[in-house]
């Protein structure tokens, strides 16, 4: 974490990160330090509805003040897992590192993660369990539909909510009260992708939309608005379903276009996008496929193979040599003994802890209301993915967007930007 690097208690550790999202669908997460007690990963069932405590961590390292309890209601299995699992693992690592250097302003940090199983009906129940356990900050799951109950329950208790890996801007209002996203909004990342496409000289685009998630529904809408604003033309659009295994109908329509579109844009993510691009290339379509942060994971290359070549996507950051991002991912890899499947999505766990540190220090307190007030006024906070500002926003932070391509079987950074035109969410 860049800003922590500047502080004495973090001078020994540079934290950086391991994503709306996305891999197949599955998975899991703990902490440590001097005079530390840590409960091992355990599974609990509650009130008729199952909630899994994945890596429930109680840590009292370094500081001797009252513990700051962070409660995370995440989807560790199901649709949210591709983002929430690497995010949870990164949170674990970041908390462990903070506690080893004395906590936050003398307060040890306790991280408690419970699984909502990607079930919107469990959100409020799990949030209440976390609040009953003393959580002073709540972190919600990858998708706003799953997080509404979490935000509403936390708001009633006056506890601020951070929105995990979600890039969907409606998250900040869906619970009827303000919440704070850690990622840029989909309108921002789609705009960056569109401006990148225009800069390459691309003039036409065909979009693929899925109403199954607002992520896959609205990303193409935001891309199209920016692309047309810059002089590009949308030559067609079609629908798909998440989990679809045969894209023959969509591919046939694209292949029939003459001339072929310069770009095919979609919010599709693995494994679906790998299936789609293989079928698209088999039909002889060479249009550039552009996607979003859900593509930023090794399974994209693993599943699509040579057909992944040339795919472009927007994402949160990139491990350039000497960057905070690379340092965080390297640290996370060492901590858990394996590289994260979705480093960019995991990196948001580092951003989360950087923001929490900044808010607690600005508040001078671990009182939830004081932390919430401090969050609202944070400006230019150094995080794993550059800097973040909430001041003057509706809870969707000002952040840069990275544009990455697959070249020779590897991810390559192509650009980093804040788009000049951002459509309204």
- Predicted TM-score (pTM) of the model is 0.79
Digit-by-digit pLDDT tens for the chain (425 residues) are 433 333 333 333 333 333 333 333 333 333 333 333 333 333 333 332 333 333 344 333 446 789 999 999 999 999 899 889 999 999 999 999 999 999 999 999 999 999 999 999 999 999 999 999 999 999 999 999 999 999 999 999 999 999 999 999 999 988 877 899 999 999 999 999 999 999 999 999 999 999 998 899 999 999 999 999 999 999 999 999 999 999 999 999 999 999 999 999 999 999 999 999 999 999 999 999 999 998 998 899 999 999 999 999 999 999 999 999 999 999 999 999 999 988 999 999 999 999 999 999 999 999 999 999 999 999 999 999 989 999 999 999 989 999 999 999 999 999 999 899 999 88
What span, in angstroms and rounded, lies between the C-alpha atoms of 389 and 112? 26
Q: How many CA atoms lie within 13 A of 30 on its CB side?
A: 12
- Concatenating the DSSP letter of every residue in 347-415 gives HHHHHHHHHHHHHHHHHTS--HHHHHHHHHT--SEEETTEEEB-TTSSS--B--EEEEEEETTEEEEEE
How many Å apart are CA 418 and CA 425, to the nearest integer? 16
CATH for 186-315+403-417, among 3.30.70.3190, 3.30.1490.20, 3.40.50.300, 3.40.50.2300? 3.40.50.2300
How confident is the model over 316-368, as pLDDT tens digits? 999 999 999 999 999 999 999 999 988 999 999 999 999 999 999 999 999 99
3-state secondary structure of 116: coil
For tokens 């997460």, the residue is 29
Q: With beta carbons less than 8 A apart as the criterion, state whether 382 and 3 touch.
A: yes
Neighbouring C-alpha atoms within 13 Å toward the C-beta of 326: 7
Cα–Cα–Cα angle for 19, 22, 26, nearest 5°? 115
92: tokens are 């674990």
Architecture in CATH for domain 2-184+319-394: 3-Layer(aba) Sandwich (3.40)
- Residue 69 has what pLDDT? 98
Q: Measure the CA angle with vertex 357, ends 355 and 361; round to 5°.
A: 120
- In this structure, the number of other CB atoms found within 10 A of the CB of residue 203 comes to 16
Per-residue pLDDT tens for 66-81?
A: 999 999 999 999 989 9
Would you say 340 and 89 are in contact if contact means Cβ atoms under 8 Å apart?
A: yes
Give span(s): CATH 3.40.50.2300, the chain.
2-184+319-394, 186-315+403-417
Using CA atoms, how far apart are residues 266 and 31, in angstroms rounded to an integer? 38
């Amino acid at each position: 974490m860049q800003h922590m690097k500047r502080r004495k208690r973090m001078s020994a550790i540079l934290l950086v990160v391991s994503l709306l999202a996305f891999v197949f669908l599955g998975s899991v997460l703990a902490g440590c330090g001097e005079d530390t007690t840590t409960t091992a990963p355990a599974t609990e069932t509650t009130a008729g509805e199952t909630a899994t405590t994945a890596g429930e961590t109680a840590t009292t390292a370094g500081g001797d003040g009252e513990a700051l309890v962070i409660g995370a209601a995440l989807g560790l299995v199901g649709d949210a897992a591709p983002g929430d699992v690497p995010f949870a693992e990164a949170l674990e690592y970041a908390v462990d590192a903070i506690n080893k250097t004395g906590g936050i302003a003398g307060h040890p940090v306790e991280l408690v993660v419970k699984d909502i199983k990607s079930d919107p009906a469990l959100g409020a129940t799990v949030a209440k369990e976390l609040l009953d356990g003393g959580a002073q900050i709540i972190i919600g799951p990858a998708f706003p539909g799953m997080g509404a109950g979490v935000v509403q329950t936390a708001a009633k208790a006056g506890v601020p909510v951070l929105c995990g890996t979600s890039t969907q801007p409606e998250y900040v209002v869906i619970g009827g009260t303000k919440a704070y996203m850690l990622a840029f909004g989909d309108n921002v990342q789609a705009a960056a992708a569109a401006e990148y496409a225009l800069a390459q000289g691309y003039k036409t685009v065909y979009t693929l939309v899925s109403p199954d998630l607002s992520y896959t529904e609205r990303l193409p809408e935001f891309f199209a608005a920016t692309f047309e604003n810059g002089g590009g033309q949308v030559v067609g659009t079609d629908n798909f379903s998440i989990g679809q295994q045969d894209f023959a109908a969509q591919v046939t329509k694209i292949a029939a276009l003459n001339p072929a579109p310069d770009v095919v844009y979609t919010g599709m993510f693995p494994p679906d996008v790998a299936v789609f691009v293989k079928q698209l290339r088999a039909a002889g379509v060479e249009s550039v496929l552009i996607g979003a942060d859900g593509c930023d994971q090794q399974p994209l290359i693993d599943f699509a193979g040579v057909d992944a070549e040339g795919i472009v996507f927007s994402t949160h950051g990139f491990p350039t040599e000497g960057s905070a991002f690379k340092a965080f991912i390297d640290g996370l890899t060492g901590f858990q003994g394996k590289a994260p499947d979705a480093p960019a999505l995991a990196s948001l766990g580092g951003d989360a802890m950087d923001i929490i540190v900044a808010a607690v220090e600005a508040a001078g307190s671990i009182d939830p209301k004081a932390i919430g007030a401090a969050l609202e006024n944070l400006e230019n906070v150094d995080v794993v993915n550059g800097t973040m500002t909430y001041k003057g926003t509706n809870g969707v932070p000002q952040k840069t967007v990275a544009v990455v391509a697959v070249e020779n079987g590897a991810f390559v950074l192509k650009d980093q930007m804040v788009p000049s035109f951002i459509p309204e969410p």
